[in-house]
Amino acid sequence: MFEITDKFYLNGKPFKIISGAVHYFRTVPEYWKDRLEKLVNIGCNTVETYIPWNFHEPKQGEFIWDGMHDICRFIELAQELGLYIIIRPSPYICSEWEFGGLPAWLLKDPKMRLRCSYKPYLDAVKSYYSVLMPKLVPYQTGNGGNIILMQIENEYGYYGNDTAYLEFLRDTMRELGITVPFVTSDGPWSEAGFKSGMVDGALPTGNFGSSAKWQFSEMKRFIGDDKPLMCMEFWNGWFDAWGEEHHTTEPEKAAHELDELLKRGSVNFYMFEGGTNFGFMAGRNSGNKTADVTSYEYDAPLSEDGQITKKYELCRDVISRYTDISEIPLTTKIKRADFGRIKCTAKTDLFSTLEKISEPVPSLYPLSFEELDCYYGYVLYRLNIRNNERVDNVRCENAADRVLGFRNGKYAFTAFAENIWEQFEISQKTCGGTVELLVENIGRENFGTGLEQQRKGILNGVKINDHRHFGFDMFPLPLDEEQIGNIDFTSGYAAGIPSFYRFEFDVTEPADTFLDTEGFGKGAAFINGFNLGRFWDIGPQKRLYLPAPLLNKGKNTIIIFETEGKSSDSIYLSDTNLH
């Protein structure tokens, strides 16, 4: 049994939690055991993970629990290695993850209020928890498993003060069989924020990356001297956004801060291994015009592809002062390989293959991504222009997030960030034909109070010649495996517009590699139908991590979807990462 009184106690004995965050949803399942073995070898006794709601219920009432989504298998692997487990199953997780883990279908309700006691939101949470919690119940310490703690909400004090909402989450989890102690986590430097995140029946913990002595002293002011101190998120690195610098924390500084923490309490590395925001699941932080990059390496002790770093070695030395470390053998064979340069074998532009991969949805007025049940990726909005109407200019009213405009299939303008509301003059002022608007969801905000404003697409209307145009055909483009498989590469190609490019190669022995998209502008890459994630030539990420388990022995296909009309006749698969 695990208990919290003046200290953490496991089976009646004091227990110092030395934990590391490993997100199963950011690592291919074939590598889960490798990352957990390396967690054991650094000296950790516990693993922590979030559970993102949108990862498991991508459409309302439709759940996924297999493959990369098999949280039970991840828990079982940790138990087999003797690790204890902290689960943070909050409806909201932040974690620089798309929409903070909330499912975008919640926004189909035009009155939706999130992270509070709005009944339709609470009903959706309870429905989800009624499926999730029974899966976790058998793995609690009281039932012979290794789950020792579960979190109620995540950094709620930064968001609001609806204590009744926190009580609802606490009571719902108890009703569904959760018996282990509860925790909350907030920043101790904000008294109002820290207190707003507290709720009876849960131990408050802190999230911070430095100044452990001061941070813990602040926490004592709020929770008293008779409770154990824990840093639930020891920020030993940081994340990156497109167009910004690559963030790092010196290994020596991280090791020093870890020592200061362990002198005073328990700790959870955030992150131990960062992993990858595969697909379109990278979030966007409040105030950033761009989203976070595909890599979630976080400058953690393990690199994105699981390599041991200097930070790992220095932190292991620190941990060895507080506990005996018994190394175990690493059982997963992992290799890197340089597969060289691969030539393009076929290409087609989006407009040529559009109706092979997406069916149009007609509507008098534009529909949002959420109304179209297209929660990620792109939507192409097509307007048919009357033969007696000339197109002089185009303006989008309230569009999110990035719009590429085309006139009769030729590039006309880009509307993004500061100029998203601008009126764009069309150089070829002709009558009839079409106006197409390719709208990209670059990632919903994952932090802050703007969560309810994260609907995507053209949300109000489109003005042509300064009056609203009605009559849309909308083509949802989530670019899921089915759509990628339906691309017709024989349908034609025009340069300078969004296009698909196919690259084929054979592999005798799969190995980890890194996809270099130099020469391409912005878009997403797919390996054998699996969405590796976004790329963008503005950096800082220059190559996409491609884990060996996503490769076939024999023939493999990479498809690049590029939106800016920039391309190369080859890609490169390197054994070296670049930032």
CB distance 52 to 27 below 8 Å? no
Full DSSP string of 302-328: B-TT--B-HHHHHHHHHHTTTS-----
As a whole number of angstroms, the distance between CA 326 and CA 347 comes to: 53
CA–CA dist 438, 380 (Å, integer): 4
Q: Could you please report the per-residue DSSP string of 223-256?
A: H-TTS--EEEEEESS---BTTSPPP---HHHHHH
Structure tokens of 335?
Answer: 């290799």
Q: Which residues pair with 562 in a beta bridge?
A: 499, 523
Phi-psi region of 247 (alpha: psi -120 to 50; beta: other; left: phi over 0): beta
Distance between CA atoms of residues 404 and 457, nearest Å: 12
E strands of 274-377, at which residues? 340-349, 361-363
> Which residue, 63, 59, 71, 238, is CA-closest to 145?
71
d(CA 181, CA 148): 7
Burial category of 147 from C-beta neighbours within 10 Å (exposed 0-12, middle 13-18, buried 19 and up): buried
Q: Which residue from 206, 197, 201 is spatially nearest to 181, judged by alpha carbons?
A: 201
Count Cβ atoms below 10 Å from residue 493 Cβ, excluding itself.
16
Q: What are the residue numbers of the active site?
A: 155, 233
- Packing angle between helix 310-319 and helix 251-264, nearest 10 degrees? 20
Q: In terms of DSSP bridges, do strands 543-546 and 513-516 run parallel, antiparallel, or are they unpaired?
A: antiparallel
* 3-state SS assignment for residue 56: helix
Rounded CA-CA distance 226/501 in Å is: 62
Beta bridge partners of 381: 437, 474
Strands 18-22 and 46-50: parallel
- With 0-12 / 13-18 / 19 or more C-beta atoms within 10 angstroms meaning exposed / middle / buried, residue 515 is buried
